[in-house]
C-alpha cells in the first residue's frame, strides 16, 4: 500500500492505493482527505482498503483461520494461474494436466509405501484399456485406481454425500480386498507414525466405529452448507482434516482425504494441489493438528503449499 497525492484544480488530495496484478493490473484506493492522516487514522484506512480488495476478489467468502491478506494472496495466485493456462493453449494445458495428475498419484502412493515410479503413474494416466484388473502389475493397478478416483472427483457434481465417499473409497482401494473397499470400518481404528525403526501410535484415538455414520453425516452436512460460502483454501483443508480425524475406513483414509481436499478445490474453481509433495511437512502439520486438536496448523500448511505450487 502507498499514499498518493493528486492535484485537482489547485487542491491537493491524498489517497491510499494498492496495485494488484490479476488477469491485468488493477489499482484499488480509498480517499484519505486533504492531508496525510496520523497513524491511527491511517491504520483504519489500511483496513478499509484491505476490506475493499477482499470484497472485490472474494465477495462474501467467509474465513476462519486465515487472514484477509492471506486469502487475497491466494486468490491473486489462482487468477494469475488461470490466466496463464488460458494463454498457453489446449495442447499445453493437457500436457500440464497430465504432469499434475501423475505427480499427485506418484506422491500420494509413495507416501503410503506403494513402490511405484513416475513412469507407472504416467502409464496409468494414459491407460485406455477396459478392465483394470487384467493389468498384471499390482502396483500399476493401484495407480490406475487412484487415477480413477481423481477423475471421479473432477467429473462429480458440486457437493458430497455418504454414498459418494463410499464409492470413492471403493474405487481407490479396489486392489485391497482385505481392507473392505467401499465399507466403513467395523472396529476401533488406531493411527501410527511409521519410521525406519518402529511404528508409534499418535496421541489421538479416532471415534468408535459405532459413531462413524453420524460423524460422516455431520461432515457431509457441514461441507454442503459451506461450499461456495467458506473460502476455498480453508474449505479444502478442513474437509481433508475433519475426514481424516473420523478415520472411517480400515485403510486408505489419507488417500481419500487428499482426493477430498482437491474435490473442494475443484468445486470452487481452484486447480489441483499436490498437498503432500512436501511429505515431511504434510505429516508434521497433519499430526500437529490431530494431536493438538487445533485445525489451524494444517490449514496454514495447506495455504503455504498452495502459494508454493500454484
β-pair type (199-201, 192-194) = antiparallel
Residue 84 near residue 106, CB atoms below 8 Å:
no
Measured CA to CA, the distance from residue 141 to residue 133 in angstroms comes to 7
* Closest to 124 measured CA to CA, from 171, 55, 58: 171
Measured CA to CA, the distance from residue 237 to residue 19 in angstroms comes to 29
Q: Which residues pair with 114 in a beta bridge?
A: none
Residue 114 near residue 142, CB atoms below 8 Å:
yes
Residue 167 near residue 152, CB atoms below 8 Å:
yes
Predicted confidence (pLDDT) per residue in 115-126, tens digit:
999 999 999 998
Residue 17 near residue 4, CB atoms below 8 Å:
yes
Measured CA to CA, the distance from residue 189 to residue 180 in angstroms comes to 14
Residue 125 near residue 101, CB atoms below 8 Å:
yes
Contacts of 133 (CB under 8 A, 6+ apart): 141, 174
User: What's the confidence (pLDDT) of residue 59?
Assistant: 95
User: What's the confidence (pLDDT) of residue 171?
Assistant: 96
Measured CA to CA, the distance from residue 154 to residue 149 in angstroms comes to 9
Query: What burial letters (b/e) apply to 62-76, b meaning 16+ CB within 10 Å?
Result: eeebbebebbbbbbb
Predicted confidence (pLDDT) per residue in 69-89, tens digit:
999 999 999 999 999 999 999
Predicted confidence (pLDDT) per residue in 102-152, tens digit:
999 999 999 999 999 999 999 999 886 666 666 778 889 999 999 999 999
pLDDT band at 239 (very low <50, low <70, confident <90, very high): very high
* Closest to 152 measured CA to CA, from 128, 136, 126, 171: 171
What CATH homologous superfamily does 76-309 map to?
Answer: Fido-like domain (1.10.3290.10)
Output the pTM of the full model: 0.93
User: What's the confidence (pLDDT) of residue 274?
Assistant: 97
User: What's the confidence (pLDDT) of residue 160?
Assistant: 98
Amino acid at each position: 500500500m502507498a499514499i498518493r497525492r493528486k492535484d485537482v484544480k489547485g487542491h491537493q488530495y491524498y489517497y491510499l492505493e494498492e496495485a494488484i496484478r490479476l488477469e491485468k493490473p488493477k489499482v484499488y484506493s480509498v480517499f484519505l482527505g486533504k492531508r496525510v492522516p496520523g497513524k491511527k487514522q491511517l491504520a483504519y484506512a489500511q483496513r478499509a482498503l484491505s476490506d475493499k480488495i477482499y470484497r472485490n476478489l472474494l465477495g462474501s467468502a467467509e474465513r476462519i483461520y486465515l487472514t484477509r491478506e492471506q486469502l487475497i494472496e491466494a486468490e491473486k495466485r489462482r487468477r494469475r494461474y488461470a490466466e496463464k493456462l488460458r494463454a498457453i493453449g489446449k495442447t499445453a494445458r493437457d500436457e500440464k494436466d497430465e504432469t499434475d495428475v501423475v505427480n499427485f498419484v506418484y506422491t500420494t502412493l509413495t507416501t503410503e509405501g506403494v513402490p511405484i515410479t513416475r513412469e507407472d503413474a504416467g502409464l496409468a494416466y494414459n491407460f485406455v484399456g477396459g478392465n483394470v484388473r487384467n493389468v498384471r502389475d499390482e502396483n500399476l493397478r493401484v495407480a490406475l485406481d487412484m487415477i480413477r478416483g481423481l477423475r471421479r472427483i473432477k467429473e462429480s457434481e458440486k457437493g458430497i454425500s455418504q454414498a459418494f465417499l463410499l464409492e470413492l473409497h471403493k474405487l481407490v482401494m479396489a486392489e485391497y480386498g482385505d481392507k473392505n473397499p467401499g465399507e466403513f470400518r467395523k472396529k476401533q481404528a488406531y493411527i501410527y507414525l511409521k519410521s525406519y525403526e518402529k511404528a508409534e501410535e499418535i496421541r489421538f484415538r479416532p471415534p468408535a466405529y459405532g459413531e462413524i455414520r453420524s460423524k460422516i453425516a455431520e461432515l457431509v452436512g457441514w461441507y454442503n452448507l459451506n461450499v461456495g460460502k467458506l473460502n476455498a483454501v480453508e474449505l479444502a483443508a478442513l474437509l481433508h482434516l475433519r475426514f481424516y480425524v473420523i478415520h472411517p475406513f480400515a485403510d486408505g483414509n489419507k488417500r481419500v482425504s487428499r482426493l477430498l481436499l482437491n474435490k473442494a478445490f475443484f468445486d470452487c474453481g481452484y486447480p489441483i494441489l499436490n498437498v503432500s509433495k512436501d511429505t515431511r511437512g504434510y505429516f508434521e502439520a497433519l499430526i500437529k493438528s490431530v494431536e493438538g486438536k487445533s485445525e489451524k496448523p494444517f490449514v496454514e500448511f495447506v495455504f503455504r503449499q498452495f502459494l508454493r505450487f500454484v
